[in-house]
A and B are shown apart, each in its own frame.
Chain A
Amino acid sequence: DQQVKQNSPSLSVQEGRISILNCDYTNSMFDYFLWYKKYPAEGPTFLISISSIKDKNEDGRFTVFLNKSAKHLSLHIVPSQPGDSAVYFCAASENDNNDMRFGAGTRLTVKP
């Protein structure tokens, strides 16, 4: 069962504009959420995370928003840069369990 869903397989934005990547989950026990970025021929790398006690976490150009009632989170990248072009995976886990469930990923293309 797909407990974490990224319904947009791809997204294309212009350099300098905002990129918004979305993620939905079904397991209400998830309390920790992460975004990973993956370049071709490399493993995923951690980008940003948020725990369920917060609704927003910001790190430079990257902000993650969590809406627990909607079981929805989003990643905002402002301003988007061509180097941000990659596949972005949303992941979630519950309690202290490091057993993360990943979404299928969204391929972001930032055009110069």
Chain B
Amino acid sequence: DSGVTQTPKHLITATGQRVTLRCSPRSGDLSVYWYQQSLDQGLQFLIQYYNGEERAKGNILERFSAQQFPDLHSELNLSSLELGDSALYFCASSVVGGRPERYNEQFFGPGTRLTVL
């Protein structure tokens, strides 16, 4: 158990709909990251938040948005869903400034499997 929780575990919805994925980081972690893993694809970095502020942006579509709340939990909003958005969405958290040899270690949640029909 990494200490990172994600809800829901599974989500099935229709094209054109909007969904919200939720992530609670490990206690004390200030950074939250979102990743997308499509079938047979690697983890694609979407976006990072640090202490409530957007810190880095990856391959995130304009239809997707995220935010990190004062209690440090984060939500990923996916709108106007398309079939191709079906994927596993992972959230990870990290402590910036940890031990140097594990400085960049990110702890991953179990993921949310999104199926768009």
User: Chain A residues in contact with chain B, CB under 8 A?
Assistant: 4, 6, 9, 32, 34, 36, 41-46, 49, 51, 89, 91, 93, 96-105
Contacts and interface: CB of A to CB of B under 8 A. Distances in A.
A29 to B, nearest CB: 14
Contact of B104 (A6, A93, A104): A93
B90 A43 contact: yes
Contacts of B117: none
B74 interface: no
Nearest to A54: B101
B14 interface: no
14 contacts: A4-B42, A34-B104, A34-B105, A43-B90, A43-B110, A46-B106, A49-B105, A98-B56, A99-B55, A99-B56, A101-B45, A102-B35, A102-B44, A104-B42
A15 to B, nearest CB: 26
Contacts, number: 71
Interface in B27-69: 31, 33, 35, 40-45, 48, 55-56, 58
B96 interface: yes
B86 interface: no
A97 B55 CA distance: 9
Contact of A44 (B48, B58, B90, B94): B90
Q: Please list the 7 inter-chain residue pairs (A to B) with the smallest Cβ-Cβ separation, ordered nearest first.
A: A43-B108, A104-B42, A102-B43, A99-B56, A46-B105, A44-B108, A102-B42
Chain B interface, >50% SS class: mixed
A103 B102 CA distance: 19
Contacts of A103: 42
Contact of A98 (B31, B41, B42): B31
A91 B104 CA distance: 10
Contacts of A32: 103-104
A84 B5 CA distance: 24
B58 A43 contact: no
Contact of A100 (B45, B100, B102): B45
A71 B96 CA distance: 26
Contacts of A46: 102, 105-107
B43 A89 contact: yes
